[in-house]
Amino acid sequence: MFLLDDPRPDQIAAFRRDGFVIVERIIAPAAAARLAARFAPLFRGEFETGLYPDEWNWREGRDPADLTRQICNAWKSDRVVASAVLHPRIGQWCARLRGWPGARINQDNVLWKPPGARPLGFHQDDSYQQWIVPPEMCTCWIALDDTSASGGTIEYVTGSHRWGLAPPASQFHAPDDYAREMREAAARAGVVPEVVRVEVPAGGGVFHHGRTFHGSDTNRGRGPRRALVSHCMSSEARFHPTNVGYVYSRYKRIGSTEMDESFFPVLWTEEGYRSGFLDGDAGAAPAEAD
């Protein structure tokens, strides 16, 4: 399924300079199609494993059609999604790009922006990570449809990972001005923002730094823009002893800051360690097709 080799020195350098690196081919097109086919059942509430995801922000028959649809931690609910977002190559790339000894999953995102769906506000992922130590992430964003500038593709601001950490976005879903807070952060940093709209074929994508500003505009195209996202953190990450994440701190053990691999599995380490259960059902890769 995955077409990634080890990250090259020039890709690591681009990531550290720009805060993101675009990769034209991350997974095979057939794998992208198989993953995209899981979206409709998931948003209907058809969970293969019987487990609900941690966050389910759009439900068929309940929410407006012009909102971007999001599920977080679908890997717990669907084995096909799990086989992609928990892949060791994602862990390896995130660890190498961030200089970590290894990487574990923080959360995944299943994102579906149908034609006409409204924007997602510009934000920095690390703004939401004060419940972990170190409070930092690296993300793999994989397009499951061909992306275009008019189709609500993801947008990145070059070098914005060096601007400092801003507060969480005041309105993440369907803001009136999806770039306002990014422009304000750029003004505080004394720079003119350079926005890059990612245009890749299905199966391509991006790795981005947790402090890189990113967001997406309305989908003005004719087709959906579906993406699968793995947010990783260091394999050595622990819970913050006092700060609370209102969703994910529910997995913190009383009297301990250690992260349970059942909920935050280790994808890859330099020493070759990987959470053992990932090589069972959750880690089995989808069948390849030409």
pLDDT digits (tens, 9 = 90+) for 50-89: 999 999 999 988 999 999 999 999 999 999 999 999 999 9
**pLDDT at position 52, please?**
97
**pLDDT at position 289, please?**
34
| CATH number of the domain to which 141 belongs | 2.60.120.620
Which letter, b or e, does each residue of 93-107 get, where b requires 16 or more Cβ atoms within 10 Å of its Cβ? Answer: bbbbbbebebbbbbb
Is residue 32 situated within a structural domain?
yes
- C-alpha distances out from residue 269 to 8, 42, 91, 176, 180, Å: 18, 31, 8, 42, 38
Question: CB-hemisphere CA count at 13 Å for 224?
Answer: 18
**pLDDT at position 39, please?**
97
> In angstroms, how far apart are the furthest CA atoms of the chain?
52
Is residue 2 situated within a structural domain?
no
- The CA R_g of the chain, rounded to the nearest whole Å, is 18
**pLDDT at position 166, please?**
96
Number of domains in the chain: 1
Token output for 243: 């700060």
Is residue 45 situated within a structural domain?
yes
Token output for 213: 């500003």
Alpha-carbon 249 to chain mean position:
19
**pLDDT at position 288, please?**
40
Is residue 59 situated within a structural domain?
yes
Is residue 234 situated within a structural domain?
yes
Q: What is the pTM of this model?
A: 0.95
**pLDDT at position 60, please?**
84
Nearest to 70 by CA among 155, 172, 1: 172
* Residues 114 and 65 sit within 8 Å (Cβ to Cβ): yes
**pLDDT at position 156, please?**
98
Is residue 287 situated within a structural domain?
no
> For residues 138 and 186, what is the distance between their CA atoms, to the nearest angstrom?
21
Which residue ranges in the chain fall short of pLDDT 70?
A: 280-290
Is residue 289 situated within a structural domain?
no
Is residue 215 situated within a structural domain?
yes
Question: CB-hemisphere CA count at 13 Å for 140?
Answer: 36
- Domain extent, residue 65, equals 9-282
> For residues 206 and 18, what is the distance between their CA atoms, to the nearest angstrom?
12
> For residues 122 and 214, what is the distance between their CA atoms, to the nearest angstrom?
5
